[in-house]
Amino acid sequence: MHEIRVHNTLSGKVEPFVPLEPGEIRMYTCGPTVYDYAHIGNFRTFVFQDILRRFLKLRGFKLTHVMNLTDVDDRIIANAAKAGISIRDYTEKYIQAFFADCRALSVESPEHWIRATDHIDDMVALIQRLQKNTYTYPSEGSLYYRIAKFKDYGKLSKIDLTGIQAGARVDNDRYDKESARDFALWKAPKPGEHFWKTPIGAGRPGWHIECSAMAMKYLGETLDIHTGGIDLAFPHHENEIAQSEAATGKPFVRYWLHAEHLLVEGEKMSKSLGNFFTLRDLFAKGYKPSALRFALASVPYRRQLNFTFDGLQQATSSVERLRNFAARLKQEKFPAGSQPAIAERIAKAADDFDAGLSDDLNTAQALAAVYDLVREANIAMDKGEFRQGELAAVQELLANFDRVFAVLEDNDGEKLQALGYTDASSGLGDAAIEKLVAARQAARQRRDFAASDRIRKELAERGILLEDAKDGSVRWKRK
Ligand code: AMP
Ligand code: ZN
């Protein structure tokens, strides 16, 4: 087994990973803000942390992993007030949708799923510690963190703050602050919106204090790993460090791991560009959860991931190939005996697989090791050279692969139905598409162009494009 190395944003380097307690890892992941459905960019980051946790478990570590649901922030409070419902009622729908999305993508449940609104007391207690250490000051009913007092501010993001002038707009707080960089720990209530009555006054927590308070409550004052998307490094994680270390005087996190963003066809995802996708959008177009997981997992987390429909189609084929190989191992009878050259080849693939993941979670390298072996083993089987004696070793490698990548089980359809994304009749699988295409052809042949246009439109709405060839045949593809 190879030494595990990870890129630590704090040092800016790839370093050997050694947990504080031998064999045990305490890890925190910033979860979703549940005011809407999560998008595939969010899931790039959540699949990355899932691959990380699964790999660490495969390597025998005992994991305590906490992920929070940010079920209170300015947008949530304002939207709930507008709808005239409680925060719980407003967020419940998106929390359930997020859990379903996680199950669809085989994102394992962390040891603790926690909600910010269940931890207001812990946040207040942490703010009181900061008050005692004189890191806070009040202004217009809110409480701010005094960054000038925390000498290490900026050590994570290495951001140069000298250019930020007092009064410049660095966040959305429109309150009076001593310095533009200072951030709210506790915010004064807004008229008509929900607030908590607490010993530090009425109001609501700032976003950053949520994660500091919850992470330390479940994982102690020094964590091994903290993960999130790269956009969280500043200011969110920088502020988490400032709050936690000012309260405890101890290092807050030993390894910070950040995932680069997902782009769609080379562009930032945005609703106005029409390139914004939730999982539901893709499943409705007929793509499989396993293909999406594979597409998100296959690009190493520190590289930007350019999501394309071609790439998703390729991921579909890759998963198919791997499933076919697993089925072949199960079904075929191989001649007895052993082939030392093939045995060696399998051992090398297993070693390369571990080497890839140990090297800062290089999923592309780990996958290449498995693909190469699958190709060569298929050839050996076709030639009748593969022996029974190697079966267990290949199956073990495939099982280890799947403990991390989790795509081999052929259960996409059942999963989508069980999780309520589709009913049995409305999933647009290949067979359903072929049927509609044939119906359109029939309509054209009887010159019923209204009917044929209707079918073309219906398919287009579900992401299927038709190309009419000169010879009268039709090809279809997914958008
Ligand atoms: P949010 O729900 O906005 O708090 O985001 C949840 C997680 O998704 C955070 O770790 C973000 O950094 C991450 N994230 C947001 N947009 C993207 C993106 N386009 N690609 C990858 N991760 C993202
Ligand atoms: Zn956080």
Task: Read off the pLDDT of residues 363-376 as tens digits, 9 standing for 90 and up.
Answer: 999 999 999 999 99
Angle between helix axes 40-58 and 289-297 (nearest 10 degrees) is: 80
- Are the C-beta atoms of 407 and 290 separated by less than 8 Å? yes
- The ligand that comes nearest to the alpha carbon of residue 35 is 1
Which residue matches tokens 């004696």?
389
- The ligand that comes nearest to the alpha carbon of residue 73 is 1
- The ligand that comes nearest to the alpha carbon of residue 232 is 1
Closest to 210 in 3D by CA, of 328, 331, 69, 107: 69
With vertex at residue 54, the alpha carbon angle to CA 354 and CA 111, rounded to the nearest 5 degrees, is 155
This prediction has a pTM of: 0.87
Lowest mean pLDDT among 27-36, 152-161, 172-181, 415-424: 172-181
276 lines ligand 1 (CB under 6 A): no
Burial of 180 (0-12, 13-18, 19+ CB in 10 A): middle
Those residues with Cβ within 8 angstroms of residue 377's Cβ, 6 or more apart along the chain or in another chain: 325, 342, 346, 386, 394
Which residue type occupies 36? D
- The ligand that comes nearest to the alpha carbon of residue 230 is 1
Which residues make up the environment of ion ligand 2, defined by Cβ < 5 Å?
30, 211
Shortest-distance Cα residue to atom 17 of ligand 1? 41
Shortest-distance Cα residue to atom 2 of ligand 1? 32
Neighbours of 141 (CB within 10 A): 13
Rounded CA separation 256/143 (Å): 27
Domains in the chain (CATH in brackets) are 19-259 (3.40.50.620), 267-414 (1.10.730.10), 428-478 (no CATH)
- Extract the tokens encoding 175: 């309150």
Mean pLDDT calculated for residue range 185-212: 96
232 C-alpha to ligand 2 centroid (Å)? 8
* pLDDT more than 70, % of the chain: 95
30 lines ligand 1 (CB under 6 A): yes
- Extract the tokens encoding 196: 């908590």
Shortest-distance Cα residue to atom 5 of ligand 1? 32
41 lines ligand 1 (CB under 6 A): yes
- Are the C-beta atoms of 178 and 187 separated by less than 8 Å? no
176 confidence band (pLDDT: 50, 70, 90): confident
Lowest mean pLDDT among 10-19, 257-266, 430-439: 430-439
Lowest mean pLDDT among 161-170, 226-235, 346-355, 463-472: 161-170
The total number of residues shown for the chain amounts to 479
Average pLDDT, the chain: 93
- Between residues 281 and 177, the one the model is more confident about: 281
* pLDDT score at 163: 59
Shortest-distance Cα residue to atom 14 of ligand 1? 42
* pLDDT score at 167: 47
Give the number of the atom of ligand 1 that is nearest the alpha carbon of residue 34. Answer: 2
Give the number of the atom of ligand 1 that is nearest the alpha carbon of residue 31. Answer: 6
- Are the C-beta atoms of 72 and 87 separated by less than 8 Å? yes
Q: Which residues pair with 29 in a beta bridge?
A: 67, 227
Give the number of the atom of ligand 1 that is nearest the alpha carbon of residue 42. Answer: 8
Mean pLDDT calculated for residue range 352-362: 98
71 C-alpha to ligand 1 centroid (Å)? 15
Shortest-distance Cα residue to atom 19 of ligand 1? 41
207 C-alpha to ligand 1 centroid (Å)? 15
SS3 of 196, please? Answer: strand
SS3 of 104, please? Answer: helix
Instruction: Decide if pLDDT at 228 tops 60.
Output: yes
29 lines ligand 1 (CB under 6 A): no
